[in-house]
């Protein structure tokens, strides 16, 4: 699996936007970019995923660079509940491979 690089930690203020970066310079053409997050004392939860185009859902937006070597997860208005570890994961498309390879992730702290 191609590797991803994320900052160890980031800090934000409540109700402000948060941009969480992820570098994946060895991404292949068939790799999807996924984001999961893990709130304290819980299992990870799916946030969003994309291939080439920017994606939006009720939780967040995913901005993917044109060369796909980096991406940014955007939380439009951070809340205290968004404090979590955010994982950027690459997964090859096709087949039935449900294995997720987690890195260290980014610990997001949200200040009130």
Partner 1 sequence: KAGVTQTPRYLIKTRGQQVTLSCSPISGHRSVSWYQQTPGQGLQFLFEYFSETQRNKGNFPGRFSGRQFSNSRSEMNVSTLELGDSALYLCASSGRLAGLSYNEQFFGPGTRLTVL
Q: In terms of CB distance, is 42 or 53 closer to partner 1? A: 42
> Which residues of this chain interact with partner 1, rule CB under 8 A?
32, 34, 36, 41-46, 49, 87, 91, 93-94, 96-105
Smallest gap from residue 88 Cβ to partner 1 (A): 13
The conformation of residue 110, written as its DSSP 8-state character, comes to E
- How far apart CA 57 and CA 74 sit, in angstroms, is 11
Q: In terms of CB distance, is 16 or 102 closer to partner 1? A: 102
Smallest gap from residue 55 Cβ to partner 1 (A): 12
- How far apart CA 36 and CA 43 sit, in angstroms, is 10
Answer for the pair 88, 33: CB distance below 8 angstroms, yes or no: yes
Q: How many CB atoms lie within 10 A of CB 44?
A: 17
Half-sphere exposure of residue 88: CA atoms within 13 angstroms, side-chain side: 30
Smallest gap from residue 82 Cβ to partner 1 (A): 17
Q: In terms of CB distance, is 43 or 112 closer to partner 1? A: 43
């Amino acid at each position: 699996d191609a590797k991803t690089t994320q900052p160890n930690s980031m800090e934000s203020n409540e109700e402000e936007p948060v941009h969480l970066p992820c570098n994946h310079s060895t991404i292949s053409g068939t790799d999807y970019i996924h984001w999961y997050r893990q709130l304290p004392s819980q299992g990870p939860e799916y946030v969003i995923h994309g291939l080439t185009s920017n994606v939006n859902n009720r939780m967040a937006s995913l901005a993917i660079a044109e060369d796909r070597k980096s991406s940014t997860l955007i939380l439009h208005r951070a809340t205290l509940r968004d404090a979590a570890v955010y994982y950027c994961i690459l997964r090859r498309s096709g087949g039935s491979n449900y294995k997720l390879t987690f890195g260290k992730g980014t610990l997001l702290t949200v200040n009130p």
